[in-house]
Chain A
Amino acid sequence: MSDDKISQAEKDEAAYFAERAKAQASAAAAQSPSASGTQDAHTLFDVQEMELNFGPQHPSTHGVLRVVLKVDGEKILEAKPDMGFLHRGTEKLFETETYPMGIPHTDRMDYVAAATSNHAFCIAVETLLQVEVPRRAQLIRVILDELQRLSSHLVWLGTSGIDLGAVTPFWYAFREREQILDFFEEYCGARLTLNCMRIGGLPFDLTPGWTERLAEFIADVPARIDDYEQLLTDNRIWKKRTVGVGVISAEECVEWGLTGPILRASGVEWDLRRARPYECYDELDFVVPTRQGGDTYDRYIVRVQEMRQSVRIIQQCLAKLEPGEIRGKVPRVIKPVAEEVYASIESPKGEIGFYCVSNGTNKPYRMHVRPPSFINLQALPRLAKGHLVSDLVALIGTIDIVLGEVDR
């Protein structure tokens, strides 16, 4: 009796395994022409795939990004960014606090470029309130934005240099950034989390002598940028590591929604400062640098050129500065009418936008952020595929992400 049962079970099992083997064989047969055709061209040996955890505690992920890599030797077959390690629920926090109380939260998103985040938030609320910002405040805002762009690009330059093994530009870039932060500190008391803008204008006027010292420093910056370029731009190894690495076409950039230097390095002349001028950008004379290649080297060149243009913009604004009001006519309690607005500006990383839904109370009903780092990071798996592990480091650097902004 029991013998029968066992034999029946064994039969079932054998049948099951036979069926499974058949299914596997047919699946392999179906896959093999495409799979072996593409893979054999690149792999010399029949090597096992390895899964490699890149981060979150890795010196080159610029924060707490984790990239799960499937590698064959050093070749990346698949890269999956995994983020959220720095998630603080900023968007929800906006809903629980009044409009002016939201500004400090924006500091903590892109913490290497707080001024532009402040600015975008303020512009969104100003659009809701339909407040006019006085001219002096506009000019100072532009100066702060461009200083922030300079310092953010300096951080990018230094860190992406270190990623590729060039250590010295890092120290040079941070030397200048330190001076820029000194200017911020003198203006608003903070170096990173600036909180340097208010709805309808600015919190403070400039301290005496600030503009003169800034003019002196800014006049010196182009020579310093020449120094960095001396070390990197024509360096054979730098070019070898960056030219042709992570190429992305203009069409793909637009499809992925990439903005900022990445988009411009692929040949699209799209800069919100020029395309949808805010504050007084329409009266300023500057060039939107573009390149055609769309690779890491072109993104490097575009950012360096942008730094030079920022210097020009700051010089023009300093020349235009005149005494005047620094805050527009804003009610003491900010209670915008029930409406929805989207306002965006050009941050150093791309388009940073705030989608603000008001329900007529003093707190926003919903505040959604369009963070450039987060949206640009999407392209990483696409850029990294087929490159080597060393290139992944270059690519994370070239996207220029700040994890505070990616995770919010």
Chain B
Amino acid sequence: MTLSPLFWTYVKVVLLVATVPAIVGFVIVLAERRIMGFMQARLGPNRVGPQGVLQGLADLVKLVTKEDITPAKAEKAVHFLAPVLAVIPALTALAVIPFGPPVRIGKNMIPLWVADINIGLLFLLAITSIGVYGIILGGWSSNNKYSLLGGLRSAAQLVSYEVPMGLALVSVLLMSRSLSLVEIVRRQEATHLWFFFPGMIAFFIYFVAGVAETNRNPFDLPEAESELVSGFNTEYSGVKFAFFFLGEYTAMIIISCVAVTVFFGGWLQPFPHVKALQFLGLVPGAVWFLLKVGGFIFAYIWFRSTFPRYRFDQLMALGWKWLIPISLANILVVAFAILLFPGRTTGLVWLSWAFSGVFVVMYLLAKLRQKLAKRDRLAAVPQTVES
């Protein structure tokens, strides 16, 4: 029996909208709290269910049954709309992400994406930037000075980090020659090269901008608990707060998914053309995809427990004075590498080696500098008892 593609699309939409919040609530939040607990020499939630696996459910029940307070002087309609604006675009953006190669169910070939549109990447950037309004309007409509500061911060931050993010993706477009996310993955298969290697600089800029876009450490200024007491969501409680929460975590997933699709070969196994690693093909593509996304989520959590927070003006300086010029220069370099070498892939391979060399040298220099600084510091004051 063949079913119409439209039927499958509906199934996938329902699955995405119904499962993503569940995944967010259960897996990521629990993983975040447990991993951070591990990194910070404490336990994390381990009471609800075995090893705390039901903590997400308990939190959900708490948030849903909580009183939903709207401040008396708030802008009521906007205050209601803001959390919706934070969630809906994030969930919509999931539509164009290819979670894996098409799978066969009976006689039907089911692609693991809702829609493969030819402007996929552009659509993603456009839709995710609508989510910003949720935060800005939420901060403004609460009629609270701290929330307003949070909203102002996020307005400036998100607008300025959209730019380097878009520019970083442009250099990938030069390699892929397509905006469709499925096509980008197929192109990486064809060139025998994940775009991470020739797009190393683009990737780092993309991910830094992505962390800033999602308001996570070290760029969590709009919430900045120790400064703004939660910032834009101070006045939100109950389900509305849960929506902001959901929006933030879904945005994290989207940034990770795009990073995986664009730079890390999407559903492809690592090095699909190396004979010795062929056995990795036994694992289905969708699993590879989820594993890679998990890696990024872990990086997010790792950042959160490692870094202090940037200050507002420093954040802007980082975006405008460093990321944007570097990403512009990177576009030039990539374009020349593609044009100068005969054939499309030779240039990319050379670029990969060059960038790898640069990164190794930079890493060694940074290590050396750190060592010298520590030596000077310890030399200044004797540290132990001379016996």
Query: Which A residues are closer than 8 A to B by beta carbons?
Result: 50, 52, 58-60, 73-74, 161-168, 170-172, 175, 222, 231-235, 237-238, 240-241, 285, 287, 289, 301, 305, 308-309, 312, 315-316, 388-391, 393
Contact = CB atoms under 8 A, between A and B. Distances in A.
Nearest to B228: A389
B25 to A, nearest CB: 22
B106 interface: no
B310 to A, nearest CB: 6
Contacts of A389: 149, 227-228
Interface in B128-172: 145-146, 149, 152-153
Contacts of B312: 74, 388, 390
B40 interface: yes
A287 B382 contact: yes
Given A165-B220, A166-B309, A312-B384, 13 more contacts: A59-B229, A164-B226, A165-B226, A166-B306, A166-B307, A167-B36, A167-B305, A170-B40, A233-B377, A237-B309, A240-B310, A390-B309, A390-B312
22 contacts: A73-B152, A161-B308, A164-B226, A165-B220, A165-B308, A168-B40, A171-B40, A175-B41, A222-B383, A231-B306, A234-B373, A234-B374, A235-B307, A235-B308, A237-B309, A238-B308, A308-B381, A308-B383, A312-B385, A390-B312, A391-B311, A393-B226
Contact of B226 (A163, A172, A232, A301): A163
B226 A52 contact: no
B323 to A, nearest CB: 15
B307 A316 contact: no
Contacts of A238: 308
A222 B384 contact: yes
B327 interface: no
A164 B309 contact: yes
B385 A50 contact: no
A301 B383 CA distance: 13
A175 B314 CA distance: 32
Q: DSSP majority for the A interface?
A: helix
Contacts of A240: 310-311, 314
A314 B383 CA distance: 13
A74 B155 CA distance: 14
Contact of A390 (B146, B305, B311): B311
Closest 9 CB pairs of A and B: A165-B309, A171-B40, A166-B308, A164-B308, A60-B226, A165-B308, A163-B226, A390-B311, A237-B308
Contacts of A287: 381-382
Contacts, number: 102
A235 B306 CA distance: 10
Contact of A167 (B40, B311, B384): B40
B218 interface: yes
A235 B308 CA distance: 9
Contacts of B305: 167-168
A58 B152 CA distance: 20
B67 interface: no
Contacts of B39: 168
Contacts of B309: 164-166, 237, 241, 390
B157 to A, nearest CB: 12
Task: Give the interface centre of A162, A166, A316 by most chain B CB atoms within 10 Å.
Answer: A166
Contacts of A222: 383-384
A308 B374 CA distance: 15
A76 B128 CA distance: 33
Contacts of A167: 36, 40, 304-305
A261 B305 CA distance: 28
Given A175-B41, A312-B385, A162 B149 contact: no
Interface in B300-344: 304-314
B224 interface: yes
Nearest to A167: B305
Nearest to B374: A234
Contacts of B308: 161, 164-166, 232, 235, 237-238, 241
B385 A237 contact: no
Given A168-B39, A172-B40, A287-B382, A241 B311 contact: yes
A388 B224 CA distance: 14
Interface in B271-304: 304
A305 B383 CA distance: 8
A329 B306 CA distance: 54
Contacts of A308: 381, 383
A395 to B, nearest CB: 12
